[in-house]
Every structure is written in C-alpha cells, then in structure tokens.
Amino acid sequence: MERYCFLHFTVNTFTDREWGLGSENESVFNPTNFDADQIVSTIARHGFKGAILTCKHHDGFCLWPSKYTEHSVKNSPWKNGKGDVVKEISAACRKYGIKFGIYLSPWDRNSALYGKPEYIAYYRNQLTELLTNYGDIFEVWLDGANGGDGYYGGANEKREIDRKTYYDWENTWSIIRKLQPNACIFSDIGPDERWCGNESGYANDSCWATYTAHGPEGDKPGIGHTRYKEGETGTLNGEAWIPAEVDVSIRPGWFYHSHEDNKVRSLESLKEIYFKSIGNGACWNLNLPPDRTGQINTNDIVALDKLQDYLTRSFSTDLLQGAKVKASEVRGNSQQYAASNVLGNQHLYWTVNDSTTTASLSFTLPKAKSFNCFEIKEYIRLGQRVQSFSIEVEKDGKWEQVFKGSTIGRKKLARFDAVTASRVRVNFINSLACPVIESVKLYKIL
C-alpha cells in the first residue's frame, strides 16, 4: 500500500491535550461540523490508500456507541448522542475506495477495570464490536503506551501492568484472525507489521522486513517492552516477516491544536519522510488530525497539495523507457528470467543462477539524460535478499559510482546528485541468495 493515514481524533482535540487523563466529561466531544466525506476524500485525492482511526485513545473515550462503557459518543452532545464517528469514517472509506483500519488503545485511563484481570475481557469485547460492525478492516493498530497515572473510574491513581503478560496478546490476536482474517496487526512486536522505532519519520537505509523482537534486557518482549530502536533496521534473518511501518504526524502533535496551525510540516520535511520511509522499503502512516470542526484543517491540506504535486511531477516519467538492458548473467539463460523483465513487466523478474550472489544490470538510454534517482524493487514474494548495492554511470568510457546503499526490499529510492549520462549500471554487491529483481526505474526528481 506504501502510504496511508492516521486520524487522531477524540476528547483531546477539544481539551488541547495529547494524552487525556480519562476524567474528561463526555460533553467535551462536540465537533461543530463533522464531515467524514471531507476527511476521507482528502485522503483519497492525495494518493493515500487507507485510514486508521483512533477509535479509542488512552483516555478511554470511544468514538462509537460501545455498549460496554458510558464514556463514549452516546453521552456527548454531538448529534444528541446518536452519532458514530467510526460508522461514518468507515462508510466514507468504502465510498472512496480507501481501506479502513482501527486503533484501539490497550491502555484505558478511564476504566475502573484497567490493571485488573477483568479489563482484558472488556478490551476484547470492544475489539469485537469494532471488528464485527464496521466492514472490512485492513489494519489493527496496537499502541505501546501502557500503564501509569489515570482516572480509573475515580480512583485517580497510578496503575502499572506487566507488559509482557498482562494482555495475553496471543489470544487477543486470535480474535482478530477469526473476525478479520485479512487484517494486519501492528505493534512494536508485530505480528504482521512493526513499529519503525521512532516517530520522526524514517526507517534505516538498512531495513530488513524480517524481525526478531527483543525485550530491553534481552528478556521476553511485549507491546511497549522492546529494544525499540531495532525496529529501524529490522533483523537480518529475523524469525518472522514483519515489515516496518513509519508513523509520523503532519504536525508537532498527534491531535489538533490551533497553536500548531503555522507548524505544519513543510514540503521539504514531507519529501524527506517519503524517501526515508517508502524509499527504504517501509510503509508510511501519516497522521492527519481532524480539527474541532471535525474536518482536515486547511493548513494540512495545503501541505498535502504541495506533496502530491511534487510526487506527480517527479515520478511521472521513467527515463528507462526505451532503454536497452543487459545483465551480467541470466538464470539458466532462460527468457523467462530475462533482464528486460525489470523494465515494467508486472509479476515477472530478472534473476541469476542459485550460486550467484553478485550481479549487475546495465542500461543504455536512447540518448543522454539528466537523472538523480533510481527506484529498485526486489520480487518480494521470494523474499528480501540484497544486502548491499551500488549505482554507477559511464563517463568518458569509465564507470563512476554515484550511490552506494544497503537493503532494497519492497522498494528502494536511491537519490544522488544529478548526473547526465546515457549508460548506467546497478551492481548487486552482496546478497543472501541470488538477487531477484522485479523492476528498475530512473527519474529526474525535483
């Protein structure tokens, strides 16, 4: 999917907080002109393919009329208690062909049950509501923030839990598997997608889709209990296929604050995130927090307009179209694995013999062109293999290196200073097994 959006929206939007305490009165939640159509159509026209809604954040306020708590929209003045944000967003997603995902915070600072065994049943009941009443779910997002000070039904105390064992995640995940078998489960331990280890907007140049989660002291990992920086790189030959997701907000905060209207990310910042997330083989989950009207703020839309214009103009022309391609080797000298497959034949690929772990592809353009970005994709259905690669251009009959990188994976966007040449070569320097390349493209990005 490459990129989709977070929608952080709850009582915090109206209290000007990032983390609610759980003591907020339901009357606080009252958007003046909530418009799911405006929110989702904004996501769709800017090229994002999904929306993940914070159905319940740490404050415990539910954006749907959950029958298991009074702390929800059913007791807010919005639509006289008859509203359902989850229903409206999920319906708008279906209308615009956008996939719908849910965020259900494991921590609940409102519930009197939190920290007790009974809370797990409460959490699973709410999860079941979301997984059965709102259509197909593409992602279930599980936060690592667990335990601490809270209202907890009026107790107003600090409650700590054992993040490794309290939630019994395996059995909770089984509910998701049963009710939404196509949903990916996200957390800092997976099991399907992992946190990239930061909220700054990047995965590492060396970014493996395989991953083994470790506890901070080498102990058993749990959600919110990992060596989180390992998420930036993944694990070479890790125990499971758990690709990285880069979650980052378009603003300094995750929820809307009017004082941040002039602090929306610049085009340069969004570009860097794009190249360091998607361009390093990860997915990008960009947070777009609805404002107090219940819509995406104009300032955020202006930033999205600039990003989409940049992406359209930068990636509209593949300079390798019409080029001749030659490989250092072709598997079994078979046309099935021909080097020309990388020039756009979907679901085909070029590869070499099993014993070969170093190889190259050379391209001759119809005429000299100026370029500064290579897009390379491994045929990911057969795994992630390349450990290091380089890009060279021919100048005066000699090959000069312009880029050297580490992993490729689902997609690598390799940027370098603009050069003008008619011949370019990609060297796969080291690979875990014979490299298998689906496509290669060349661009002059802005």
Q: Of 303, 296, 299, 304, nearest to 31 (Cα)?
A: 296
In angstroms, the CA 424 to CA 138 distance is 39
The amino acid that residue 438 corresponds to is E
Q: Of 44, 36, 38, nearest to 308 (Cα)?
A: 44
pLDDT of residue 346: 77
pLDDT of residue 85: 98
The amino acid that residue 7 corresponds to is L
pLDDT of residue 345: 72
337-382 pLDDT, tens digit each? 999 999 987 789 999 999 999 999 999 999 999 999 999 999 999 9
pLDDT, the chain, mean: 97
What does 78-91 look like in DSSP terms, one character per residue? Answer: GGGGT--HHHHHHH
pLDDT of residue 36: 98
265-304 pLDDT, tens digit each? 999 999 999 999 999 999 999 999 999 999 999 999 999 9
Task: Name the helix (H) or strand (E) containing 308.
Answer: helix 298-314
Q: Of 268, 264, 266, 286, nearest to 277 (Cα)?
A: 286
pLDDT of residue 344: 83
In angstroms, the CA 49 to CA 40 distance is 10
Residues near 253 by beta carbon (within 8 Å), at least 6 away in sequence: 18, 260, 289
Q: Rg of the chain's alpha carbons, rounded to an integer?
A: 24
pLDDT of residue 235: 97
- Dihedral in degrees, nearest 10, Cα atoms 198, 200, 204, 208: 50
Residues in the chain, pLDDT under 70: none
Alpha-carbon distances of 373 from 1, 195, 363, 370, 444, rounded to whole Å = 21, 27, 14, 10, 6
Find out whether 418 and 441 touch, Cβ atoms under 8 Å: no
Cis peptide before 435 (omega within 30 of 0): no
Alpha-carbon distances of 197 from 190, 225, 232, rounded to whole Å = 12, 12, 5
Residues near 259 by beta carbon (within 8 Å), at least 6 away in sequence: none
Partners of 424 in the beta sheet? 363, 393
pLDDT of residue 251: 98
pLDDT of residue 419: 98
